[in-house]
Amino acid sequence: MAHDRMRQLQCVVVGAGALGNEVARALGLLGTGKVLVVDPDTVEASNLPRSIFFCGWNSIGQNKAQALATAAAGLFPDTQWASIAREIADVGFQRLADANLLFGCVDSDLARLEVAYICSKMQVPVVDGGMGARNYSHGRVTYFPRDTAHACYGCMLSPRKRRELLELWQATLRPCSPENGGGAELGSTPTMAGMVGCMQVEFGLRTYFASRDGQPTASRSLEVQIHPVRRMEEFAIPVSSDCPFHRREGALCPLPHEGATFEELLNSARADTVVLDWPICVKARCQDCGGEWPANVRLAVLRRRGRCPACGSRNVLELETIRAIGRQSAWLRRTPAALQLPADHLYSLEKPGTL
């Protein structure tokens, strides 16, 4: 029965570093039916001694998600492996709609908050894993149920930290926060990655299957430390009253056909407004050379790594950002591709009388 359950399971692994490699290995050993790996970055030399699926120097320069999925398919051919070489915020929601469980193996608070937002919209449970820098011997695994009645990762953040990340993500004014959007990357070792990855899969699967069997579940964390003292603790996470990811949302709608415009999307659903999940900067200016250009990228992407196409400066200012497309928008007759939105997305729409 356990094997049959695993064969029917569809999992998403977000982040293909040391931790993501260990989670993928455990899922493959357990005979998971389908695993989708998501990561925009490329393999570097420093990744090789910490990641089991990056096979030698030939892996350097390859996309991490693709390299992991290809290597894992050779070891675990009974599992269907797929990869997406993008940030999770750039993945179309249709690719995530059938997922039973998402494993967060990212190394920044901003990425974790993006995962929390997506999974609250898609009603997908999350098993988040993290490794701390205290002697490289501290790890945490947290299970977040699929419904918004329970806490998400945003609830674990202090109001100030959550505000900083949301400002980087969507505020009109540029926030005073680190360029990497979530603090320094946390150090890791193969030992802790193996421990946390296995805990992530074990704790996540047991909790997920218990919820499917009708047992009550809640947002809970396991923390482990192996030095200077050894301990393991489990604790519950309450919903934060000011976390914005716990509001009821309406239905999500796909494009009526490939290449459809926003106007056709609205007409097909008899709606008035497309509410964008991520604010899109459509016009930017370089404050060094004065050049302006149509950026057409997520605001968070521009703020973290945007560069002037003329001089390469990072001193970039967003001039125009859009958060919704209504009947009067200049973008109404444009396609989502013009804003670098994926064709396989599911869009939030506001219908007449819902404002």
- Structural domain of 196: 2-236
pLDDT of residue 353: 63
Evaluate whether residue 176 is within a structural domain.
yes
Evaluate whether residue 244 is within a structural domain.
no
pTM of the full structure: 0.90
- Considering the domain architecture, whether residues 161 and 284 belong to the same structural domain is answered as no
For the chain, the domain total comes to 2
At position 172, the amino acid (one-letter code) is T
303-346 pLDDT, tens per residue?
888 999 999 999 999 999 999 999 999 999 999 999 999 989 99
- Considering the domain architecture, whether residues 189 and 290 belong to the same structural domain is answered as no
pLDDT of residue 134: 52
- Considering the domain architecture, whether residues 189 and 320 belong to the same structural domain is answered as no
Mean pLDDT of 170-177: 44
Percent of the chain with pLDDT over 90: 69
Whether residue 107 is predicted with pLDDT greater than 90 in this model: the reply is: no
Evaluate whether residue 282 is within a structural domain.
yes
Evaluate whether residue 245 is within a structural domain.
no
Whether residue 133 is predicted with pLDDT greater than 90 in this model: the reply is: no
- Considering the domain architecture, whether residues 227 and 287 belong to the same structural domain is answered as no
- Considering the domain architecture, whether residues 96 and 124 belong to the same structural domain is answered as yes
181-227 pLDDT, tens per residue?
343 334 457 888 999 999 999 999 999 999 999 998 899 999 988 88
Which one is predicted more confidently, 44 or 133? Answer: 44
Of 236, 269, 293, the last residue of a domain is 236
